[in-house]
Every structure is written in C-alpha cells, then in structure tokens.
Amino acid sequence: MIEVNAFKNDLLTWFHENQRQMPWRETKDPYYIWLSEVMLQQTQVNTVRPYYNAFIERFPTIQALSESQEDDVLKYWEGLGYYSRVRNFHEAVKEVHHNYNGAVPSQPDEFIKLKGVGPYTNAAVMSIVHNHPLPAVDGNVLRVWSRLNNNHSDIALQSTKKTFEEELQPFVESESGDFNQAMMELGATMCTPKKPLCLMCPVQSHCQAFENGTVDQLPVKKKKVKKKTIDYLVLYITNRNGDILVRQRDTKLLNGMWEFPMFESDTSIHTIEDELDAVIDMQTEPIFTTKHIFTHMTWNMKVIRAYTQKSDVEYPYRWMSKNEKEALSFSTSMSKIFNKINEV
C-alpha cells in the first residue's frame, strides 16, 4: 500500500516546483477550466494551447459563447477533432446561461448533469476549481496508478477504474485539485506510455512496478475482440417420409454436433443444390430468422424449408426422423430451430 501523506508530499513538492506553464493554470474561472478539460480530452497540451487562447479571446464569457451560432463556434474548433465535444460544451454553456444565471454549478451532482460532462470532467473541474474531494481518473492516471501499485488488472475494464477510484479517494480528501493535476502532470511528463523516466521520477521510492522491474509490462490493456457476424442460410429439408436432413459438424466450433445443413448466405444456390442433391426454391420466404450469439461471433440465420425426393445420403449427412432428435446432439441454436418448426 502506498502511504498517503508521504506520497502526496513527494508528488506535490515536485509538482509545485516543476509544473508546466499553461494558460488555464493561471485562472480559477470555472468556464475556462472546464473549456480546457474539454479541449484536452484526446488532445495534447501543445496542440490545445493556441486553440484555447483563440477560443477565449473570441468567446470570453459564458454569455458570449451561449449567444453565438454553432457554425461560428465550430470554426474555432476546426482541426481539434471530436466535434461532438464542442457541440455538447456549447449546449451545456447555453444551459448554464439560461438555467443557472450564467454561473457554472459549483456542486458535482449539479455540474455532472450538464451535457457532455462525464465523471472525469466532473472530478477534474470540481476539484481544480473548488477542491471537491473527487479523484479524476483518465487514461494517464490509470497507467500511472497501475504502475505505482504493480497492479496487472486490465485498465480497459470499468471494474478496474472503479477500484482505482476507491484506492485514490484517501489521496484527494485535501488539495484534490493539485493532487489530480499533479497525477496528470506525472503521467504526461514522467510516467509516459513508452520509456517512462523512472530514474528522474519524484515518486520512484513509492513505485512497486519500479521495485519489481515490471514497469514495461504495465499497464495491462486488453484489446476488445471485435465480434464477427456471419449470415447463414439454414435449410430444413424433408423427404417424402417426413424425415429431416441433418449433418455432423467436423469443425473446431461445435465439433461433432449435428445440425441442419447451413451455408454462408453468399454461397451460390448451385453449389448448395449440388452438395445436397436437392431442389431449393430460393424464392421461398424464409420461415423465420434467428440469431445465435457466441462469445466471439454472432450467427444470423435465415431458415428456409426445402423438399427432396432423394432418400440415400452419405455421411456426414443422414436422415433423421423427428423421434430421433433427442438421441442426437444438437447445438442450442439448432434445437431452437427444430422446436420452433415443430412447435415443441
């Protein structure tokens, strides 16, 4: 555990002596600080600086901004990207002008109700302006805190963020504005994503990743696996005895399970007819569509009925009477299809 007073003392002493000059650090005006936090989301300090100066020169007050047209406001954001940020900010400032008499709410539970204000912006602005005891946890702080604690939890998870916020709470009971800014400054100038400057770091003596030699393994951030969606045609083919054509899978997924013949929906009808030696009337409306969600993919299945005169088929195909259904292993998605058609 990091000792609160000793850590804060080392961090804040360094911050007070070394913090970079920034125009928004020379004011306690909540409108300016709020603007700077909105601009700094996903954008580097050096890029923001000229935009911030031009913006406050053109829209120096809440009133000036709230009375301006969106097009005019957007021009002063051109090149910063993520335009929904400025649209939300503009809307929120108009609300402050009309509903709060032009004064930015000073309580976190009021401020967070404004458009575009999330937990991070709320904590940052409310701590910097009013010293409300809220930890401001963004990507920088997640990285720094996971290294300081040698914590290998995935920082992409909400649960990790929540744990870090709880751990940081005792550190923001006083001087929260300076503490939050100092953590951000440490992340931006020392504890950088690549090649952190550990040998010059003011809190190195508290850092468990440094002590354990694990700095370059942290933070752990797992990429979200993008789910694949595949569209299938599922053919529910019966013969003149009313038996149903099924086949056994020989694939990694659901290997050995039985299924109704299914094909990716862009497979040509001739290929399907050749394979099954059946006549498929593609004009037929699907009897229904259904979806099956695996952890890594989704099957969208269009179920079509078809008939054939053929009786002899070869493995992996076979005919199955309705009574045999329970004796064969079917995946949940296939059982759902069978039950729906047969109203089981």
Please identify every residue annotated as catalytic: 37
CB of 7 to ligand SF4, least distance (A): 10
Q: Which candidate, 296, 168, 281, places its Cα nearest to that of 224?
A: 296
Q: Which candidate, 120, 134, 117, places its Cα nearest to that of 177?
A: 134
Q: Which stretch binds ligand SF4 (CB under 6 A): 22-30, 36-44, 151-159, 191-199?
A: 191-199
x-or-dash string of contact with ligand SF4, 112-151, rule CB under 6 A: --------------------------------x--xx---
Under 8 Å between Cβ of 22 and 51? no
Written as one letter, the residue type at 285 is E
CB of 209 to ligand SF4, least distance (A): 5
Q: Could you give the CA distance from residue 221 to residue 292 in angstroms, rounded to a whole number?
A: 28
CB of 220 to ligand SF4, least distance (A): 14
Q: Which of 123, 190, 234, 246 binds ligand SF4 (CB under 6 A)?
A: 190
Q: Which candidate, 100, 126, 97, places its Cα nearest to that of 33?
A: 126
CB of 148 to ligand SF4, least distance (A): 5
Q: Which residues contact 115 (CB under 8 A, 6 or more apart)?
A: 88, 89, 91, 92, 95
Under 8 Å between Cβ of 321 and 243? yes
Under 8 Å between Cβ of 151 and 145? yes
x-or-dash string of contact with ligand SF4, 16-55, rule CB under 6 A: ----------------------------------------
Residue closer to ligand SF4 (CB basis): 184 or 334: 184
Residue closer to ligand SF4 (CB basis): 205 or 284: 205
Residue closer to ligand SF4 (CB basis): 6 or 197: 197
Positions 200 through 239 that interact with ligand SF4 (CB under 6 A): 201, 203-204, 207, 209-210, 215
Residue closer to ligand SF4 (CB basis): 141 or 207: 207
CA pseudo-torsion sign 102, 108, 113, 115? positive
x-or-dash string of contact with ligand SF4, 264-303, rule CB under 6 A: ----------------------------------------
Under 8 Å between Cβ of 8 and 171? yes
CB of 153 to ligand SF4, least distance (A): 16
Residue closer to ligand SF4 (CB basis): 68 or 163: 163
Q: Which of 108, 135, 177, 196 binds ligand SF4 (CB under 6 A)?
A: 196
Kindly tell me the number of DSSP H helices and DSSP E strands found in the chain.
Answer: 14, 7
How many residues lie near ligand SF4 (CB under 6 A)?
Answer: 15
CB of 188 to ligand SF4, least distance (A): 11
DSSP 173-211: SSSHHHHHHHHHHHHHHTS-SSS--GGG-TTGGG-HHHH
Q: Could you give the CA distance from residue 278 to residue 275 in angstroms, rounded to a whole number?
A: 8
Residue closer to ligand SF4 (CB basis): 64 or 200: 200
- The H-or-E segment that residue 232 falls in is strand 228-238
Contact residues: ligand SF4, CB under 6 A: 144, 147-148, 190-191, 196-198, 201, 203-204, 207, 209-210, 215
